[in-house]
Chain A
Amino acid sequence: MRILLLRVIAILVTFIGLYMLSQFVTYQMDPYYFQVLIECGVYIILAVSLNLINGITGQFSIGHAGFFAVGAYVGAAWTMIWQPMVVGRYSFLQMGTLHGDILNLLIALVLGMISAGMAGFVVGLPSLRLRGDYLAIATLGFAEVIYVLLLNINSVGGARGLNGIPTLISSGNLALFWIFLFVIISIVLSRNIMQSVRGLTWLSVREDEIAADAMGVDTTKVKVTAFVIGSALAGAAGVLYAHFLTGISPDIFSMNTSILITTMVVLGGSGSVTGSVIAATVLIVLPEMLRFLKNDRMVIYSVLLIVMMLTRPQGIFGTKEIGFPKWRRKQPKTEGRSA
């Protein structure tokens, strides 16, 4: 009971804190920094969700932009295409009011996450048969297929993409609230998984799949679950990106983006949630900070990346965590000194 109460309080405090922060920052912050902040949040969600697949269960998916794209386009399709078709009949779906915006965003999020999660299920299935580099190619192939499809579907704008997506924050200044809510959700979800016995089974799949099988771990289920959860979160990132940066085009979801997200996970230290968060922040902020270098910017950026990988080949954090001990699970106790 007491723990439940504490949880409820923690959740309330988080909500209120995020809400106030969102209000405050939106008014005070320079729009340019604001946009960088939003991108950071989106990429943290992407990196942390890919870390569930690659870092924790040890698969090698490098097509995360594909799921990001599915979420973004499905979410945007709701607000720009489907919602206008049904709003005449269901007037409570009207946008422009606080509750209308929230309702529409939630619908977009649900649709985006379900579609991306289903895509993750379909792409995750080959992971049962494909290993390592073959799986990598399959996932990259999936992302490319999505990219090419988007380029060629005219109803979603082809190469130009969709612009002027309603921000859904016309009232309330809630962009940061939503984005950092999902940042927190993806981090807490990772943490809960890693601290549970179930998380141990996820890690066992990374360590030695055959041994995991032999110990009674349903490795098929673990891998597909990781794919579905990871992709659904990437889908949420897509919905948020589409609605708060108000424009999407296939280019945003190209192979470069897939590689960028993969780099974040590797650079942070595969398996480390903290590492993913920090690496995502660094890789988004760094190119902005290097803007003064003008044309040499990307060269310096690449050199810095190489230096970071050379000095910390296991990633910034290895598999360590800050802020929560990796295993705080209740351990079976035994009498005597070993407990």
Chain B
Amino acid sequence: MLQLENLEVYYGSIRALNGINIRVELGEIVTMIGANGAGKSTMIRAISGLIRPRSGKVFFENEDITTVPPHQLVEMGICQSPEGRRIFANMTVRENLELGGYVHHRNKRQIREDYDRVLSLFPRIKDRLNQSAGTLSGGEQQMLAIGRALMSRPRLLMLDEPSLGLAPIMVRQIFDILQDINQQGVTILLVEQNAWQALRIAQRGYVLETGSVVMENDTQSLLADEGVKNAYLGE
């Protein structure tokens, strides 16, 4: 479904990604784990068109999307919950969701369906629809960020560190919901530092170190790997 070929991204003269290759198949949850500054967010930004890679290509359903602008990618079915959530703090929860569905705003019925679906996935947001989003707790904000992305009815959902700054129990809750979302047919690319949780729900994983993919395997093997254990699972 998604394929990166030799993707190389620079910030000025700093190379953040040195030609990475990854692929995500339809229906999978794939995780990308890596330490701070490894280039995980850079990869998400490059896929979603927020920065232009210097070389390499991105394919989505066999179509070259390397230079497609972000708003068209959302229409094509790729949406993300960005690093740091970036919800619209001064808007209400409802308005945030409405913006998430903006690309389909003409299709009232679809918006209504997605709205109900998101609220049933995240009942905690449902009670806070008219509250301004900035007053939500961190966990609720993360739920809103995911819900907002779901409103565009993505076929590929990308999440950049959804566990950031959340208590373990909240992380578990959110990851369980991600699994539900996946079972509803959404393919997921999950970027995480919290390798434990990510590997728990994913089928395959990649390990990124200073801009290069150093390992790629199914989650069982990654969980068993000594190197991964030492570096990312804190054992």
Contacting pair B89 A331 (CB below 8 A): no
- A98 at interface, CB cutoff 8 A: no
- B148 at interface, CB cutoff 8 A: yes
A selection of 16 A-B contacts at a CB cut-off of 8 Å is: A207-B90, A211-B82, A211-B87, A213-B70, A213-B71, A214-B48, A214-B86, A216-B79, A216-B102, A216-B152, A217-B102, A220-B69, A319-B90, A334-B112, A334-B119, A338-B127
Q: Which of A206-264 contact B (CB under 8 A)?
A: 207-208, 210-220
Chain B residues positioned under 8 Å from A203 (CB to CB): 88, 91
Closest to A329 in B: B98
Q: How far is the CB of B112 from chain A (nearest CB, A)?
A: 5
Closest to B115 in A: A332
Assembled-state Cα–Cα distance A210/B108 (Å): 26
Chain B residues positioned under 8 Å from A333 (CB to CB): 112
Q: How far is the CB of A87 from chain B (nearest CB, A)?
A: 47
Assembled-state Cα–Cα distance A319/B70 (Å): 29
Contacting pair A216 B70 (CB below 8 A): yes
What residues make up the interface of A, taking CB atoms closer than 8 Å to B? 197, 200-201, 203-204, 207-208, 210-220, 319, 327, 331-336, 338
Contacting pair A215 B148 (CB below 8 A): yes
What residues make up the interface of B, taking CB atoms closer than 8 Å to A? 48, 50, 69-71, 73-75, 79-80, 82, 86-91, 94-95, 97-103, 105, 108, 111-112, 115-116, 119, 126-127, 129, 148-149, 152
Contacting pair A338 B87 (CB below 8 A): no
Assembled-state Cα–Cα distance A217/B101 (Å): 10
Looking at chain B's contact residues, the main secondary structure is: helix
Contacting pair B75 A338 (CB below 8 A): no
Assembled-state Cα–Cα distance A218/B88 (Å): 16
Assembled-state Cα–Cα distance A200/B96 (Å): 9
Chain A residues positioned under 8 Å from B70 (CB to CB): 213-214, 216
Chain B residues positioned under 8 Å from A335 (CB to CB): 116
Chain B residues positioned under 8 Å from A210 (CB to CB): 50, 82, 86
Contacting pair B48 A200 (CB below 8 A): no
Contacting pair B148 A338 (CB below 8 A): no
Contacting pair A215 B79 (CB below 8 A): yes
Contacting pair A338 B115 (CB below 8 A): no
Q: Which of A197, A211, A212, A220 contacts B98 (CB 8 A)?
A: A197
Closest to A203 in B: B91
Closest CB pairs A-B (n = 8): A216-B74, A211-B86, A216-B103, A218-B71, A207-B88, A332-B115, A213-B70, A216-B71
Assembled-state Cα–Cα distance A34/B231 (Å): 77
Closest to B129 in A: A338
Closest to A334 in B: B116
Q: Identify 11 new A-B residue pairs, CB closer than 8 A, beyond the known A210-B82, A210-B86.
A: A200-B95, A207-B90, A211-B87, A214-B74, A214-B79, A216-B73, A216-B152, A217-B71, A327-B95, A332-B108, A334-B115
